Structure 1
Amino acid sequence: MARKDHAHPKSRRWLALLLVLGAAVAAIGWYELFREEPQNLDGVEAYYRYGSIGTEQEEGLPYWVWRVLPEVFPQHLPGDGEDAGYAALGVVWEEGEPTPVGFSRKTIGFPRIGINCAACHTATYRTAPEAERRIVPAGPHQTFDPQAYLRFLGDAAADPDFTADTLLAAIEEETELSWLDRLLYRFLIIPRTRDGLLEQAERFTWTDDRPRWGPGRIDPFNPVKFHPDLLALDPAEDDTIGNSDIMPLWAMDEQEGYALHWDGLNDSLTEVVLSGAIGDGARPDSLPVESLGELETYLRDLAPPPYPFDSPDRQMAARGEALFEEHCASCHGPEGGCTGTVIPQSEVGTDRHRLEMWTAESAERYNAYAEDYPWDFDAFVKTDGYVAKPLTGIWLRAPYLHNGSVPTVEDLLRPAEERPAVFYRGYDVYHPERLGFIHAGEEAERHGFRYDTAEPGNGNQGHEYGTELPTEDRDALVEYLKTL
């Protein structure tokens, strides 16, 4: 007769207790590390400035670690120490906000911080050195230096003082952590953050052999091309330079059907918004597609601010308008036959490097990247030139050309050999007469980045349209451009 085995009642109780404890630990772990809380921002403009685009989980940092890094590692910030904290990197921080414009704070288990579109696409300007800094959503950022920001994070992580003891002591000066949070920060969050930042720094070593971006510029697609989890091209076999001036995102409705980006590599605003979020660190399964759709609608209708100085001379502006219609409207006017189209580089003559950065293979891989998702990419192409853009808000889009190599409109209307060979960019005090930012002199040098047009990718040649006009006609044209 077979003998029946009966589990001892005490063993069953221990097993049940272990299961309960395991479930409790799993629940606490999920709550402390992975629960996702809504941001509850007030409207689409607040979302543009501070909303999550899905970057926090993969590329985000623990907010409190990020918050104390400038205090703990000021020696790794650029500049002479006049600008404290992240201001040394050119970010714009509105009073009372927990993050700068363009940085999102979102709780995924614990507070995290990520970058969104506004980090690069938010202009600032001052009408005088002592004047209040004005913030313009969707304009091209003139002061933020994304490359310096990445290097600061990498240098901080490589510092021997990047330890749990050092960072927790600084965090406790800012906020009160629970005993469980302190344990998680000490043994998990801070060590993992250090490893992640060192991995990120290693991933960007390809930038060491290329000219610096500087404030207001970024290489928009090489970081995506060379990311091992994205397009996965090899920087050792690709020495292209994509350094580009940051573009405005306002009035996108008037660009419906136009080629977008500097080289027209895509004509779908929806794909540009989604791929921009991926470029900032989001992944296909973290993209807030519905929120980004609302953001797209916001950008379609958003208008740039009017020229903020004295009203343009009406008579002179009228003369300039006639000159614009004769010399510029075919490529930059709303009804221009070439407006929004790609002008061959051989014709426009501007620096080739940005064009060569984007390859047919890059376009093919990007179109295949998200083929398993309902918002699939299929509009990326390779072109042979640069797009003739509408000039809406042109007064606030300095410096000019796709690589930001010409500081003012006045300089752009001069032959290339008469344009500044070296100037300073990143100082946001405006020069109204020249239609651009102050780019020379002691203050510009102290606050700006030295831009040398002799470096690869920085060439200021080409686009010599209108340069043959007499001085009085060029002045009239500048007066009219103030009204756009």
Structure 2
Amino acid sequence: MNHPLFKISAVVLPIIGLLAYGKVSGLFDSRLEAPKSTYVKPVPKDWVLAQAKRRADIADHIDTFQVNYDHFANFPVSETNGIPLIVLKLLPEVAPEYWGDEDNFLSVMGLFHDERLVGYPFPRGIGFTGLVRKDLTADIDYASFTCGGCHIGRVRLPSGEFEYLDGGINSEFNVIGYRERIVQSLNKIYGNETDESAKKQLVVDAFLTALDKVEAQDPNYFYNNYQYDGRVFDANYEAAQIQLFKNDATDIIAEFVTHQENVYASWVTLTEKLYPNIKDRINSGFAGMEDAIGFNAATAFQTFDEKMTTKLIAPLVMPASHGVTDIMVVWDQDSHDPVWNEDETRLINGGGQWNGHIPLPMYKNIAAQITLGFDNIDISVSAHAEKVLQKLPPAIYPFDVDVDLAKTGQQLFKDNCADCHQPNNGRVYSIMGTDMGRAKVAGTVITVGAQASFAGDANCSPTTTIEMEGKQVQPCAEYKGVSLVGQSKQVMLPPRVQNGYNALPFPGLWAQAPYLHNGSVPTLYHMLVPNERPDVFVKSQLDFDTQLVGFKWELDNWDEQEGYVFDTQSSPSISNAGHDKDITLDGKTYKLDWSDDKQSVWALLEYLKTL
């Protein structure tokens, strides 16, 4: 399953030829549309009962789709790629200054221990190949991030306990920070050594020394004697894994070093080109944010033969614009998904990402897996995720709501917001005043490459067959009853028709703070009252501001133990401008700036809590 953004040189030259002869127009004839009617979710009569019912619905849904949920939440995105599990868990031994303590060592990058995952040897968000590999003795275990690493979040309740947000946003997760810490750990081991072979030998020695230490101390150090679905990761399993690792440690560790350094160097290449104002800051990553398409494109560029003419290739492969965004919620995917037009030739009435350029849910999931930088991904993870996420209920607002005030806000929402923020609205909006970088990031080469590969044999063609729950299935054979044979143009829509942002529906809106595509507005209050938006605030805290509706954001009294400072004026890519002036669409004026009507603001906020 070699992905084009890593093997993209194979498609660049053919695309150049197609462009030269003007033969790609047929690839670019899809456009998502807006629904024809307006829906407004009513306010529940009894908020306490509504909370209890939603929580029960979530639990019932996960129980019904437990196998699918496990793949989404806990399973690695690749069966053959990743970081060697033994290497991952030895990082705090070889470079403790860059990692947290003991089994909580990945907390520094925002992964946390979910109390519901009893006995698991890693925090939520790390999977390993032993969970899925058919022959448990065939290879060492590799670890990789799971879908749940990004999409299971949490909020702290007044009691100090956490409520978990399945399908929500892990606003603490910093994947770039993780990559930076690995490179820092390697540099610590290198010291002043400059010879490449000597440097790699230093790394081999450091990890083998650490391995001998922990092996002598605890026979269950790596797996915690974990068991899952009849698989037992006990001391015997661990000893066998250690021996497999030692048998080929030099090559395993050398490959790990090369891959990690190249991956991080790719990100630095991207930031120097697209984030010159904040390149030093963004090289450490923003928790809860990513530039997925840019990262993949930069990695592809980094792998080109140095003899190739980079001046020709770079403008084609590297994005022309920055594309850093907040991680999105993925619950209730059915409210985002498109449908077919009457003659079943193109997709309408749906979106999905910030600009809806990947409309089909299966391929949205595949794109997310590929973001992690592997040549080979496990397609079944995407298929399981599609199944569990389609109708996964959004997290319910866990605090009190003034139902009467919310009913007043419901009418205000209907009059000013509902026409755009509809379920399955595929229309893109380019007049909102927000930074347009993310809408422009997927250029022609990236689009054609994705169309060719996502729906090709390398990833998931209509004939790709996988095993799911004991059955052989073809997850990319059709969509909503329509064959996807010959429909690769639906995989990623062309930039010229997606030049803007979706007005996304609002299931679980309260938990999606901060707001705008780039997470630059801390609360819903500041969305409605743009003249009070702070230029600088704290992101990724877990306490909640129930008055303004967003996670705690004030710089005052911030104890620096949680979250980080976010300066929206430091780069156009994270500007907090936009959605701040009244607009007229199709002859109707919509109020976006409520600064002169605070009474309505409080009513709207109360209603938005209930979605």
Verify same fold: TM over 0.5. yes
SS at match of 1:260: coil
**Structure 1 unaligned spans of 5+:** 1-40
The answer as to 2:184 corresponding to 1:155 is: yes
Name whichever of 348-357 and 137-146 sits farther off. 348-357
**Normalising to structure 1: TM-score of the pair?**
0.82
Q: Which residue of 1 aligns with 2:163?
A: 134
CA gap of 1:188–1:478, structure 2 versus 1, over 3 A, is: same
Q: How many angstroms does 1:182 deviate by?
A: 5.9
Among the aligned pairs, what percent are the same residue? 25
Counterparts of 1:304 and 1:231 in 2: how far apart (Å)? 40
Counterparts of 1:198 and 1:234 in 2: how far apart (Å)? 20
Q: Which residue of 1 aligns with 2:232?
A: none
CA gap of 1:369–1:131, structure 2 versus 1, over 3 A, is: same
Q: Deviations over 1:449-470 (max 9, x none)?
A: 2111112201001112532350
User: Which fold has the larger relative contact order, with Cα–Cα distance below 8 Å and residues 6 or more apart in sequence?
Assistant: 2
Alignment of 1:48-197 (within 5 A): 48-54=72-78, 56-58=79-81, 60-77=82-99, 85-94=105-114, 95-107=118-130, 109-128=139-158, 131-160=160-189, 162=203, 163-172=206-215, 173=217, 174=221, 177=239, 180-181=243-244, 183-184=246-247, 186-197=249-260
SS at match of 1:403: coil
SS at match of 1:204: helix
The answer as to 2:602 corresponding to 1:475 is: yes
Counterparts of 2:185 and 2:419 in 1: how far apart (Å)? 50
Counterparts of 1:452 and 1:187 in 2: how far apart (Å)? 43
Q: Which residue of 2 aligns with 1:366?
A: 450
Q: Which of the residues 304, 325, 343 maps onto 2:429?
A: 343
What amino acid maps onto 1:367 in structure 2?
Q
Q: How many angstroms does 1:206 deviate by?
A: 1.8
Q: How many angstroms does 1:215 deviate by?
A: 0.9
RMSD of equivalent CA atoms: 2.8
What amino acid maps onto 1:463 in structure 2?
H
**Structure 2 unaligned spans of 5+:** 1-64, 134-138, 190-201, 223-237, 305-312, 339-349, 463-475, 477-487, 581-590
Q: How many angstroms does 1:327 deviate by?
A: 0.7
The answer as to 2:368 corresponding to 1:242 is: no
Q: How many angstroms does 1:370 deviate by?
A: 4.2
Q: How many angstroms does 1:483 deviate by?
A: 0.7
Q: How many angstroms does 1:267 deviate by?
A: 1.5
What amino acid maps onto 1:151 in structure 2?
E
Name whichever of 318-327 and 133-142 sits farther off. 133-142
Note if contact 1:223-1:279 (Cα within 8 Å) is conserved in structure 2. Answer: yes
Note if contact 1:219-1:241 (Cα within 8 Å) is conserved in structure 2. Answer: yes
Q: Which of the residues 376, 379, 388 maps onto 1:289?
A: 379
Note if contact 1:154-1:200 (Cα within 8 Å) is conserved in structure 2. Answer: no
Bigger radius of gyration among the two: 1
Counterparts of 1:224 and 1:393 in 2: how far apart (Å)? 29
Alignment of 1:174-323 (within 5 A): 174=221, 177=239, 180-181=243-244, 183-184=246-247, 186-209=249-272, 210=275, 211=278, 212=282, 213-228=285-300, 234=314, 238=319, 240-257=321-338, 258-283=350-375, 286-310=376-400, 312-323=401-412
SS at match of 2:537: strand
Note if contact 1:438-1:444 (Cα within 8 Å) is conserved in structure 2. Answer: no
Q: How many angstroms does 1:227 deviate by?
A: 2.3
Name whichever of 312-321 and 171-180 sits farther off. 171-180
Counterparts of 1:82 and 1:443 in 2: how far apart (Å)? 27
What amino acid maps onto 1:280 in structure 2?
L
Counterparts of 1:46 and 1:200 in 2: how far apart (Å)? 28
Q: How many angstroms does 1:166 deviate by?
A: 3.4
Counterparts of 2:377 and 2:246 in 1: how far apart (Å)? 31
Note if contact 1:168-1:186 (Cα within 8 Å) is conserved in structure 2. Answer: no
Q: Which residue of 2 aligns with 1:378?
A: 489
Counterparts of 1:62 and 1:411 in 2: how far apart (Å)? 44
Counterparts of 2:579 and 2:303 in 1: how far apart (Å)? 32
What amino acid maps onto 2:605 in structure 1?
V
What amino acid maps onto 1:343 in structure 2?
Y
Q: How many angstroms does 1:264 deviate by?
A: 1.6
Q: How many angstroms does 1:92 deviate by?
A: 1.7
CA gap of 1:201–1:333, structure 2 versus 1, over 3 A, is: closer
**Normalising to structure 2: TM-score of the pair?**
0.65
CA gap of 1:127–1:461, structure 2 versus 1, over 3 A, is: same
Counterparts of 1:301 and 1:370 in 2: how far apart (Å)? 24
Q: How many angstroms does 1:271 deviate by?
A: 1.4
Q: How many angstroms does 1:352 deviate by?
A: 1.9
Q: How many angstroms does 1:74 deviate by?
A: 2.5
Q: Deviations over 1:115-172 (max 9, x none)?
A: 12221112211023x6122221210111111110111122222322632443323542
CA gap of 1:86–1:207, structure 2 versus 1, over 3 A, is: farther
What amino acid maps onto 1:126 in structure 2?
R
Q: How many angstroms does 1:371 deviate by?
A: 5.4
CA gap of 1:170–1:147, structure 2 versus 1, over 3 A, is: farther
Name whichever of 464-473 and 397-406 sits farther off. 464-473
Q: How many angstroms does 1:282 deviate by?
A: 4.3
Q: Deviations over 1:302-358 (max 9, x none)?
A: 011211012x112101100000001101111449xxx332112xx111112222322
SS at match of 2:520: coil
The answer as to 2:544 corresponding to 1:436 is: no
Q: Which residue of 2 aligns with 1:466?
A: 592
Name whichever of 223-232 and 239-248 sits farther off. 223-232
Note if contact 1:224-1:230 (Cα within 8 Å) is conserved in structure 2. Answer: no
Note if contact 2:422-2:505 (Cα within 8 Å) is conserved in structure 1. Answer: yes
SS at match of 2:553: coil
CA gap of 1:196–1:82, structure 2 versus 1, over 3 A, is: closer
Q: Deviations over 1:275-326 (max 9, x none)?
A: 222222344xx4433453232011001011211012x112101100000001
SS at match of 1:316: helix
